[in-house]
Amino acid sequence: MFSLVLPTYNEAENLPELLPKIREVLKDIPHEIIVVDDDSPDHTWEVALHLTQEMQDAHVIRRVGRRGLSSAIIEGFLAAKGDVLGVMDADGQHDIDLLPRIYSVVQGNTDLAIGSRYVEGGSIGTWDERRHALSRLATNLARWLCKVRVEDPMSGFFAIRRSTFEATMPTLNPKGFKLLLDILVHAPRTTRVQEIPLQFGVRTHGESKLSRRVQIEFIEYLYDVTFGKYIPLVFVKYCIVGFVGVFVHMGAYTLAAAALRHGNDLTIGNFSLSVGIAVETAVLFNFMLNNLWTFARDRLRGFAAVLGFLKFNVACIFGALANMAVSTFLFSRGFPEFMSVMVGACTGVVWNYTMSRLLTWRGKM
């Protein structure tokens, strides 16, 4: 059986045209179609449910509170019944007529069949110069990472033997946005691959999903599969936030010290109070940026964010005390004011990371 997964997000206009065409092309092949929707604001999942009510060969998975292309495809593959697992976009840009050929290739003596834009006979369609350049750059970087070398590792149109997927699945990164690339990075070098020329089409309805966020996710993925095995990306992001937070800390300290300074002198008591104000300002800044960026996929919202901020303060309390103690000690021993504040601000980074992991975003690092 051929199990075809359609990951969707805001594709409500495309599905009514796409599903009947897919069924017609696959009518002579035992198949099932699995629509996996990330709770689209345009209610793609609702449209899909309506369309599939009378279809025994089609199913819908609505993912609430979960988001991401790779994880959607993996979830669809795990729910599938077929011995051949396929995926294609739901925007009309992939050539539906290639589905039987892709299926038959995998049914033969191949582990993976790819609809490829970069082999002879394939094309990128009507892309402009900028998108073409970005695609070629990303493709070249991706090829460098792959154990299994192909011309188009960034394709979103492919089929894989179930046994090959299951053997590779434990090593896959569900936070990626190109599952094929992840498979090619982790699959054995002996994996048998065939690329089939794909003429990339024009999106029928809606907007391209190639957003700035997707581009950033690709860069993050590159880090994850190279240096990330030694230093986790989330720790790097946390440290970047902490580094920026040092400057926020210094700025807040400067303003507080200026307000509390008596003439040209700053007493040790007022210095400590200024540092305390700066610490709390930096804690607020760090929490907000970590919540928005470092832990974007597990972002705390509403009351959970308020509770998270309180936990973050608790997590950072010993780091803050160490910060204030080091700063005040150095200042009282005659060290330059800004040096004292800077050294203190850098003291608690590792402590704050560890405690934040345990208390605020527990189990999400």
Say if 283 falls within a structural domain: yes
Say if 222 falls within a structural domain: no
Q: What pLDDT, on a 0 to 100 scale, did the predictor assign at position 213?
A: 67
Per-residue pLDDT, averaged over 186-194, amounts to 93
- Phi–psi pair at 5, nearest 5 degrees: -100, 130
Q: How confident is the model over 258-273, as pLDDT tens digits? A: 888 766 667 777 888 8
Instruction: Judge if 80 and 159 occupy the same domain.
Output: yes
Report the run of H or E that residue 253 belongs to, with start and end: helix 233-260
Q: Is the pLDDT of residue 106 over 90?
A: yes
Instruction: Judge if 246 and 144 occupy the same domain.
Output: no
Instruction: Judge if 134 and 243 occupy the same domain.
Output: no
Q: What is the DSSP letter of 109?
A: T
Exposed e or buried b per residue across 58-85, where buried means at least 16 C-beta atoms within 10 angstroms of its C-beta = bbbbbbeeeebbbbbbbbbbeebebebb
Q: What pLDDT, on a 0 to 100 scale, did the predictor assign at position 259?
A: 86
Instruction: Judge if 171 and 282 occupy the same domain.
Output: no
Q: Is the pLDDT of residue 210 over 60?
A: no
Q: CA 86, 91, 95, 96 torsion: positive or negative?
A: positive
Instruction: Judge if 155 and 84 occupy the same domain.
Output: yes
Q: Give the residue from 144, 175, 209 where a domain finishes.
A: 209
CATH number at residue 46: 3.90.550.10
Band of pLDDT at residue 54, cut at 50, 70 and 90: confident
- Phi–psi pair at 121, nearest 5 degrees: 100, -15
Report the run of H or E that residue 197 belongs to, with start and end: strand 193-197
The share of the chain scoring above pLDDT 90, in percent, equals 40
Q: What pLDDT, on a 0 to 100 scale, did the predictor assign at position 321?
A: 75
Cβ pair 59, 34 in contact under 8 A: yes
Instruction: Judge if 134 and 13 occupy the same domain.
Output: yes
Cβ pair 215, 260 in contact under 8 A: no
Q: How confident is the model over 13-39, as pLDDT tens digits? A: 999 999 999 999 999 999 999 999 999
Instruction: Judge if 150 and 20 occupy the same domain.
Output: yes
Q: Is the pLDDT of residue 1 over 90?
A: yes
Cβ pair 73, 87 in contact under 8 A: yes
Instruction: Judge if 177 and 32 occupy the same domain.
Output: yes
Say if 46 falls within a structural domain: yes
The contacts found for 257-266 with CB under 8 angstroms, 24 or more apart, are: 257/337, 266/337
Instruction: Judge if 205 and 244 occupy the same domain.
Output: no
Say if 224 falls within a structural domain: no
Instruction: Judge if 248 and 286 occupy the same domain.
Output: yes
Q: What pLDDT, on a 0 to 100 scale, did the predictor assign at position 128?
A: 63
Say if 60 falls within a structural domain: yes
Per-residue pLDDT, averaged over 72-85, amounts to 96
Q: Is the pLDDT of residue 365 over 50?
A: no
Cα separation, 360 vs 313, in Å, equals: 9
Exposed e or buried b per residue across 111-142, where buried means at least 16 C-beta atoms within 10 angstroms of its C-beta = bbbbbbbbbeebeeeebeeeeeeebeebbeeb
- Cα-based torsion angle of the residue sequence 153, 213, 231, 240 in order, rounded to the nearest 10 degrees: 150
Alpha helices in 261-336 (DSSP H): 268-289, 302-332
Instruction: Judge if 140 and 251 occupy the same domain.
Output: no
- The tokens 């896959």 sit on which residue? 172
Q: How far is CA 42 from CA 5, 8, 208, 209, 271, in A?
A: 20, 11, 15, 15, 54
Full residue range of the structural domain in which residue 324 is found: 233-359
Structural domains in the chain (count): 2
Say if 135 falls within a structural domain: yes
Q: Is the pLDDT of residue 121 over 70?
A: yes
Per-residue pLDDT, averaged over 277-285, amounts to 88
Q: What is the DSSP letter of 62?
A: E
Say if 103 falls within a structural domain: yes
Q: How far is CA 306 from CA 173, 231, 299, 356, in A?
A: 30, 30, 12, 15
Mean pLDDT comparison of 2-6, 181-185, 244-248, highest-scoring range: 2-6
The number of beta carbons lying within 10 Å of the beta carbon of residue 265 is: 7
Q: Is the pLDDT of residue 364 over 50?
A: no
Instruction: Judge if 186 and 327 occupy the same domain.
Output: no
Say if 217 falls within a structural domain: no
User: What is the separation of C-alpha 61 from the centre of its chain, rounded to a whole number of angstroms?
Assistant: 20
Q: What is the DSSP letter of 290?
A: I
Q: Is the pLDDT of residue 2 over 70?
A: yes
Per-residue pLDDT, averaged over 182-209, amounts to 83
Cα separation, 357 vs 183, in Å, equals: 29
The share of the chain scoring above pLDDT 70, in percent, equals 86
Cβ pair 72, 63 in contact under 8 A: yes
Q: Give the residue from 174, 209, 244 where a domain finishes.
A: 209
Band of pLDDT at residue 80, cut at 50, 70 and 90: very high
As a whole number, the mean pLDDT across the chain is 84
